[in-house]
Amino acid sequence: MKRCLMVTGGPLDLSFGRRFLLGRTYDLVIAVDAGLAACEALGLCPDLLVGDFDTLGRERLLEYQERSGVRADVHQPEKDETDTELALLTAARQGCEAVDILGALGGRMDHAIGNIQLMYQFFCQGMEVNIYDARNRLYLLGGHKVFHREEVYGKYISFLPMTETVEGLTLRGFKYPLQRRTIGLGTSLCISNELKREEGILELEKGVLLCVEAHD
């Protein structure tokens, strides 16, 4: 599986970023606009720069390119897609099947929500997209998943519909179990669940869920 790391221009805890990168390797690293500054601070050399660079600044971009020779996919600020969507489209064209994104949360709320919703487009294309920050891991799922206590990102596991309804939601091995429940957009029913055992099982008959693994 070809894996991509994407560093976007939102706020990023650099100490978390350094811990996150330990032991992880990627086939492609994309810096998205001001995410280039975070890459430099983390000691990462991106393979590709994507964005309109209205935040980083074109002069800073050119200076970095002259120094490193890294290719840049530069767009005009007046465009239909966000820089993050353009970067995800690029990762898809490069054949990446899994993308981990840093810096996509914690800044402007419209961008944060937009980044979460972008996951749906690429999930439907078969791409595994994870958004991480110091407290949260976000991803989409459908069908069947087994959660192992030693692997989850934090104590809390929440599920939110990404489709108008999700049908036949069953949770076993969780503190708050469910049996073939149908839930729709706008409910908080599945917020802050926890594993009751070492292993929890989710089954879903129809629809797509946003899963948030989190800790305080």
Express each pLDDT in 138-181 by its tens digit.
999 999 999 999 999 999 999 999 999 999 999 999 999 999 99
Return the ∠ at Cα 212 (arms to 207 and 83), rounded to 5°. Answer: 85
What's the pLDDT band for 81 if we cut at 50, 70, 90? confident
At 15 the pLDDT is: 96
pTM score, two decimals?
Answer: 0.94
* Angle between helix 83-93 and helix 109-123 axes, rounded to 10 deg: 20
Q: Which of 51-65, 78-92, 187-201 has the lowest mean pLDDT?
A: 51-65
Q: How does strand 199-203 pair with strand 165-172? A: antiparallel
> What is the mean predicted confidence (pLDDT) over 6-16?
94
For residue 19, is it left (φ>0), alpha (ψ between -120 and 50) or beta? alpha
Res 61: pLDDT: 67
DSSP state of 38: H
Q: Are 50 and 31 in contact (CB under 8 A)?
A: yes
Q: Please, what is the Cα angle at 194 between 191 and 199, to 5 degrees?
A: 135
The pLDDT assigned to 80 comes to: 83
Q: Of residues 57 and 188, which shows the higher confidence score?
A: 188
Mean pLDDT of 177-199: 95
The tens digit of pLDDT for each residue in 103-138 reads: 999 888 998 999 999 999 999 999 999 999 999 999
Q: Which parts of 39-134 are beta strand (E)? A: 48-51, 71-74, 98-102, 128-132
Mean pLDDT value of segment 187-200: 95
Handedness of CA 23, 129, 133, 32 (dihedral sign): positive
* Chain segment 30-76, per-residue pLDDT in tens: 999 888 989 999 999 899 988 877 766 667 767 776 677 788 777 77
Tokens in use for 136? 């949260």
